[in-house]
A and B are shown apart, each in its own frame.
Chain A
Amino acid sequence: MIAKSFLVIASLFTSLALAPATVVAQEKGTIKIATQSPLSGGQASLGEGIKLGTQLAIEKYKGPLEKMGFKVVLVPFDDQAKPDVGVANARNIIADQDILGVIGHLNSGVAIPSSEVYKDVSLAMISPANTNPTVTDRGYKNVFRVCGRDDVQGVVGSEFARGTLKSKTVYIIHDKTTYGQGVAEFFKADAEKNGLKVVGFEGTEEKSNFDPIVTPIKARNPDLIYFGGLYDQAGPFFKQARERGVKAKFLGPDGMDSSDLAKIAGKAIVGMFYTTVAGPVTVYPQAKKFADEYKAKFGKNPEPFSAQAYDATAILLQAIETAAKNGKPTREAVSTAVRNVKHTGLTGTIEFDAKGDPKQSSYFVIEVTSGDPQKWGENKPVKRLVIAAPGPKA
């Protein structure tokens, strides 16, 4: 009896004692930047790259906010490249009032449902890597991207196939995700419109055994195979296709862009091409310093999309600064401020249009020069196009 009441009084005192302590320590408050990307699973290398790029940017650009009295913290989330996990994380993110922006996602199929959750609270999401047009076509005021779009990327790929590779026939494979199937369909539409014959269009979720899919491809003998999907699936497919004597050239979208593709497929992908909305770090002049700092701090080379995450974070922090003139900003104020930011970063000058796309984006066609994963950053850009984002659909 006495012990119980003693405990109650003791806990009451402790909480009273602690409360003012926490208030005093914070000054103006903590601002958190969340990242959502796959940190585990087959696409973790790209997801990690986004997180680490954001981390580096926070360290570089938090100065002004800290001078204002805020503490700036990174809160990484692992969306495992799965829509349901992304949405579950999104709910946790919006519940934490200190989080004023999200840098993410990697996969468009995860970003789209997660952004529905962010929209409810006008939480800004700036994507370094989501290329599916639907992400911004919905016209949400809080959704942005700093990279290009698949409706342009697919066309860039198709034009390259016709113009430079001189392919007459193409066999298209996609991975049935929003991203992979999306970009494959854009490629197909442009190919069919312009005389490049599509001799096959297959979707598959298969990750190991591509024999039954390679058999009809081999029999049809196309000039080119276009794989709309990601490297963890494309790698085994390309490897098995080459082993079985398929002679076609390989082409893919930015999902191919990872050193793991070389790790999985090795020699099979030397000489293949891929389009990307994120050039290799070597193509951006200021990025050399970034790459060196990244390597020094994290012990590995920056992955594709690290530089984009870095720029996206810089934009977000700049927007928070603008909105923080009168104390800690609301999420809506941050979203509005992001839309008005004009930032010159590692990947160029970024300014957003009404939908949240960058007004101009660079698209690259890159050739794989070596099967060595360490040399992935040395892949040669053979073409660079700067294309305006498509306007709102009629």
Chain B
Amino acid sequence: MSLRRRLAPYWLMGPGLLWLILFFVVPMYFMGEMALRSGTLATGYTFDWAWSNFPDSLSGRGDQIGRTFFYSGTATVLALLIAYPLAYAIAFRAGRFKLLLLFAVIAPFFTTYLIRTIAWKTILSDDSPVVSVLQTLSLTPGDGRVLATSGAVIAGLTYNFLPFMILPLYANLERLDLRLVEAAKDLYSSSRTAFIKVTLPLTMPGIVAGVLLTFIPAFGDYINAQLLGGTGQAMIGNVIQSLYLAQRDYPEAAALSFLMMGLILAIVLVYIRFAGTEAFMGDEVEEET
């Protein structure tokens, strides 16, 4: 192999890796540094190994932390329940509508995330027909409002991150060898047993990938809680945003973001350890020789 060819990958990777190191890895260092500063906005923050920022950033925020897990967890489960049958239908039953359905799945991406969420705010507003139907069915809480409730925030999160659940599930289901399901049925298994013993285990990688890709952005989100929730629906993301941009208590905000990053990173690394980077990168590359 010539020297030129041996050096080529480093030239090709160089600019991108440099960008990612300078503007993703290095900022994490500065966030850690910021998290260990103390002081006030007026006097400026100075670095003095203020480890207490970490426990401080969590104390008194039990509600927001609990809510974040509950909202993003519920939204992920709901998204899975909506997405699995839909992905299955697109993969095996859609026929000539397949492309159209796939388009419908990614269509929300063509409108701004913020405007979509504001549209939900309109849909769930007090004078909307959707809410009057819910009221008639007695599905609304006591005062008949939907907006500014936990339900509205969960609905928004579910909606906004649903495509991230559908796409990996669809990619997985599409590669499913239907002959295996047929074989199970030939061996006298019922449709239900064939699904539980064959289809479900084979699509587990897609389920795990979808759950991860839905849970992570939902966990860090603050738009849904802000636009669809009220004062009692704030999540960790809202706390970080307000600490950074409104109160400008940078050290505490950095400490809290750092803890969030640590948690997510731990989940992702455990996942990659067992399943590789496939969920994020698509098919594995066959090594070139």
A, B from the same assembly? no
